[in-house]
Amino acid sequence: MALNLVKGIIFLSPTVLGILGNVTVFVNYVLLLGGTEMKSVQLILIHLAFTNIIILFAKGIPKTISAFGQGLFLHDTGCKIVVYLERVARGLSICTSSLLTVTQAVTMSPTDSMWRRLKLKSPRHMLSIFILFWILNSLISMNLPLSIISINSVNISQITKGDKYCYFLPEGWIIRWTFLLLMVLRDAVFLGIMGGSSGYLVFLLCRHHQRVLHLQSSKFLYKTPPEIRAAQSVLFLMLCFLVFYWADCAFSMSFSSSLNIDSVVLNIQEYVSLGYAMLSPFVLIHRDEQLGTCCHSQEDSKTHRNCFTDFFCN
């Protein structure tokens, strides 16, 4: 009982904090859409926060309840919905994070750069991209509702160690490998795009750093523009994403080659899989706090803009 209580608290605290953080980011940008010019990065961050909320509700909350020792709380329909939403949201997180790096790279690129050709004429076109992401990830995960049932419907002897609340039925070889290859292909494509965009951002920041050194050596007063701070924050977000993504992959690969899985290690893997959804909103909120002083400098201006919005320029 004491062990279940400790595990439950370990999952509950960051899950609730992650949900609150993502809701804060989501509400902040939704409210700003009606009062300022719509920006592509704002829409992407709204979608990313919404995706993180789905992940935390679909995986973090059930995992917390299960960790408290209440494993028989979902029936077949509930399991299908929860696992399917979590898998779709995981794919959406990869796609949206990749889109964020591309958008920021396009925003920072010089006017005569070929990257500028990727700039959307209207942020509303971003909504079409989000719809495509939802369709893509929904199709890639469409096998899950057919292969997921509640542990209420399974012989207890079939359930492996760990805090389980849903059970994966064995699938046919063709179906299993087809959808696995689709998932791997999706991840490889969007991670490649993310890596290329991040590398280009690093190049732009290095070039900007050289220009700053020249200005400082010439005794010019220099202030870091908001788009540079935005690029730095996006790069930090992508670094966090890659750390949690590859850690999750490493755990999954080790589990696939091991017959005996320690429940503690399994819980660590589950925790890591939620890490990006929990941490990413606080990266944004922390950067907003760092820029909080700029709000006071604009008190006498005709228009009052949120510094959190100014941070991500497009």
Residue extents of the structural domains in the chain: 2-296+303-311
* H or E segment and range at residue 187: helix 173-217
pLDDT at 30: 85
pLDDT at 296: 38
pLDDT at 142: 92
Report the C-alpha gap between 90 and 54 in whole angstroms: 9
Give the HSE-up count for residue 109: Cα atoms under 13 Å, Cβ half-sphere.
19
Quote the DSSP letter at residue 303.
Answer: S
- Tokens 């890596």 belong to 195
Give the HSE-up count for residue 74: Cα atoms under 13 Å, Cβ half-sphere.
24
| Orientation angle between helical segments 125-140 and 76-108, nearest 10 degrees | 140
- Tokens 């020249």 belong to 214
pLDDT at 308: 41
pLDDT at 58: 92
Q: What is the pTM of this model?
A: 0.83
Residues of the chain where predicted confidence (pLDDT) is lower than 50: 160-162, 221, 289-314
Report the C-alpha gap between 49 and 57 in whole angstroms: 12
pLDDT in tens, 234-246: 888 888 899 999 9
CATH architecture for residues 2-296+303-311: Up-down Bundle (1.20)
